[in-house]
Amino acid sequence: MASISVSSAELAALEATLLNTSGTVALHDRFRALFTLKALKTQEAVEIIAKGFQDESALLKHELAYCLGQSRKPSVLPYLQDVLANVKEDPMVRHEAAEAMGAIGEMESIHFLEKYLHDDNVSVRETAELAIDRIKWDNSEEGKRHLKETEADDFIPTYTSIDPAPPTSGLLSGAPKPQDLSHASIDALKTKLLDTSLPLFDRYRAMFALRNIGNAEAVDALAAGFADQSALFKHEIAFVFGQLLSPHSIPCLVKVLDDNNESEMVRHEAAEALGGIATPEVLPHLREWLKREDAPRVVRESCQVALDMYEYENSDQFQYANALETVQAAA
């Protein structure tokens, strides 16, 4: 992909927006600056992103870690290691740092991640396990073959994200085949998804295979995952719904967002998925949790970002990550 050229003044303006140096930048605008920087894919951009870890917002910081992972640059590993090693940091941010290390796929990270297989926080432990398995898979025969395929000029991915696990082998890339859409195939994936005796990595592979199938039956199979015990597992289901953008998933996402007893990490992901789906029926729920005093900060802030996503989806703006146009207009 061709890189976008930006001047140093523009970069500085993006940095000021992301880091909110003026103290007046709304959180959702900081998110747009973050995703604009992510799209630049340069070393300068990832270094600016890493500066944001001094912030107070766990929501923002977990998204910084996510974006660093998606850059696939081994140069960002020291930043991620620092975040993961900081036991005072919010577990959602530490989780995302571990997951980002998995996305980068360096064998050397395995040793570091192993220390967190016994972390006090269950989401961090589970993520360390997943990230290790992801790195091992990336370096397996199948993983290497797949990477080569994705680097080819004519490769068009269904989803551009690097996920915590690849879809099940038959659904790794390309459109699902007719037999993948059969009831029996979806049911077999659902069984895998819900089988708590399997390693989390295998269950995640079924999850991303169901995402690639993406029809109503696959959405229902994924929704069954919300009955799981693991907050990490459930937040990933909600993340997948945010990629699928199927209105069919709205009722279960609203249920998750509205459930004050659900983990805030899961509710955060449900709010953002609803913002991406952006049909009128999601609005009252996002507006309600933006205002409610009993909403955890992460949920409130997610609703703010989600309402901005809603606005974008219902506008004629060309792209969500438009902070470059904003800083150019202000210059």
15 is in an annotated binding site: no
- Give me the long-range contacts of 85-91 (CB less than 8 A, separation at least 24): 87/119, 87/120, 89/61, 90/58, 90/61, 90/62, 91/121, 91/123, 91/124
Task: State the maximum Cα–Cα separation within the chain, in Å, rounded to a whole number.
Answer: 58
Q: Is the separation of the CB atoms in 43 and 75 below 8 Å?
A: yes
63 is in an annotated binding site: yes
Tokens of 184: 């029996």
Task: Give the CA angle between residues 100, 313, 279 to the nearest 5°.
Answer: 105
Tokens of 70: 């998606």
Tokens of 129: 């396990």
268 is in an annotated binding site: yes
Rg (CA), the chain: 19
Q: Is the separation of the CB atoms in 37 and 69 below 8 Å?
A: no
10 is in an annotated binding site: no
Residue of 114, 122, 322, 317 lying closest to 235 (CA atoms): 122
Tokens of 206: 């079924």
95 is in an annotated binding site: yes
146 is in an annotated binding site: no
62 is in an annotated binding site: yes
235 is in an annotated binding site: yes
- Report the binding-site residues for Fe cation: 62-63, 95-96, 235-236, 268-269
- Report the binding-site residues: 62-63, 95-96, 235-236, 268-269
